[in-house]
Amino acid sequence: MPKNEVHFRRFAVWMLLAVLWTCLGTSARADSSTAILSVSISDSSGAIIPGAHLVLRNSDTNQEQQLESGKAGSATFPFLKPGHYTLTVSKDAFADVVVDHIRLNVGDDKRLQLSLKVGTAAQTVNVDGSGLTINTTDASVSTVIDRKFVENMPLNGRSFQDLISMTPGVVTQSSQAGGLIQSQGDFSVNGQRTESNYYTVDGVSANVGAGPPNGAGQNGTTGSIAASTALGTTQSLVSVDALQEFRVSSSTYSAEYGRTPGGQFSLSTRSGTNMLHGTLFDYLRNDLFDANNWFNNHNGIRKTPLRQNDFGGTAGGPIQIPLLYKGKERSFFFVSYEGLRLVQPVGATTQYVPSAAVRSTTSAPMQALLGRVHANG
């Protein structure tokens, strides 16, 4: 391959990546679905240590971020994706400190205080960071449902709506009126109106749904379950297989959530890792597995067809472009698809009408009235 052609292809690939970063990077860097980790560093006497070198590594992707502690002896890692992290702190004349098993959830703002001990570079102090779970930075009340919990729970309809109801202070509300004036939301959070909730997916507003007059998708100001399926479930919002975790902020949350006064539902989707992984699934119902409807049996009608298939798959891994770009430990992709096909059976129904004997004994005025109704169609 000519050398100029190789350079042109590499230039084209880098330009494409730059465009993608410009279009998508803003929302990825500045959304409410990320986490923040702040670190304060001091010595055994409590004196602050400026100029310490901090390396934060994502345990799933091996991506690293590096910072230097400032004059106040502190450093902040913003806009972190939910996941497990390892923090390494080093400083000349002090032993290195390694903090393992740091778990960051969506919307977290965690603080970590470390004390360095005098020692050589060959010495390392290991700290277990799994206990960094208590919120000590503000008075917000929230509940996180992570992916492990979602995988281990049986979910009716493959929807995470049932898990929202597990949050303290959340109750399910049914519509109190019919027609177009019915309640537009499903959950009341701490007594707030069901229309006061707010949904985001990876920091992007998800208060959209289908509505009158044409059933087309549109922006919504209510707290209804956004973009629900024909069965009223949440797969159109986020598929369970693509959901990393979500946080329900129920009270005293910060001003960054201030669009509505109700519950704030922050959903985070999954990301690819250094290994290529994928799943395929099909959850089905079929009349072959069911007995006939009682009313069908009573009227001598065979089983009506029932076909329900909830199918799809996921795929994720590093972005690889042969001979041009290797995204391992740098760039990743994740795609998800879920489809629903439903043929709903309708059982036999019975309608009662006046018999011939009753109609024959009807009075003359009533017969005349029935005749006029019949004539007018």
Query: pLDDT tens-digit profile of 216-250?
Result: 444 555 555 555 676 777 787 888 999 999 999 98
56 in a domain, yes or no?
A: yes
Say whether both 260 and 233 belong to one domain: yes
pLDDT above 50 for 36: yes
What 3-state DSSP class applies to 280?
strand
pLDDT at 172: 80
Average pLDDT, the chain: 79
Q: What token pair was written down for 343?
A: 């043929």
What 3-state DSSP class applies to 150?
helix
Q: Of 218, 248, 269, at which residue does a domain stop?
A: 269
- 7 dihedral zone (left: phi>0; alpha: psi -120 to 50; beta): alpha
Q: Of 215, 238, 269, at which residue does a domain stop?
A: 269
Higher per-residue pLDDT: 186 or 19: 186
Which of 164-178, 276-290, 300-314 shows the lowest mean pLDDT across its residues? 164-178
Q: What is the rounded average pLDDT of the residues 39-49?
A: 92
pLDDT above 80 for 213: no
Which of 68-72, 152-156, 172-176, 254-258 shows the lowest mean pLDDT across its residues? 172-176
119 in a domain, yes or no?
A: yes
pLDDT above 90 for 13: no
Domain tally, the chain: 3
pTM of the model as a whole: 0.72
How far apart (Å, rounded) are the C-alpha atoms in residues 65 and 87?
A: 10
Which residue has tokens 């303290």?
168
Q: What is the rounded average pLDDT of the residues 44-69?
A: 92
pLDDT above 90 for 258: no
Query: pLDDT tens-digit profile of 262-290?
Result: 889 999 999 998 999 999 999 998 988 88
State the maximum Cα–Cα separation within the chain, in Å, rounded to a whole number.
113
Report the CATH number that the domain containing residue 42 is assigned in CATH. Answer: 2.60.40.10
Report the CATH number that the domain containing residue 205 is assigned in CATH. Answer: 2.170.130.10
- Per the structure, the complete domain to which residue 165 belongs is given by 141-174+185-269
Contact 260, 193 (CB under 8 A): no
Say whether both 197 and 299 belong to one domain: no
pLDDT above 70 for 17: no
Chain Cα centroid distance, residue 42: 38
Q: What is the rounded average pLDDT of the residues 211-216?
A: 44
Query: pLDDT tens-digit profile of 81-114?
Result: 999 999 999 998 899 999 999 999 998 888 999 9
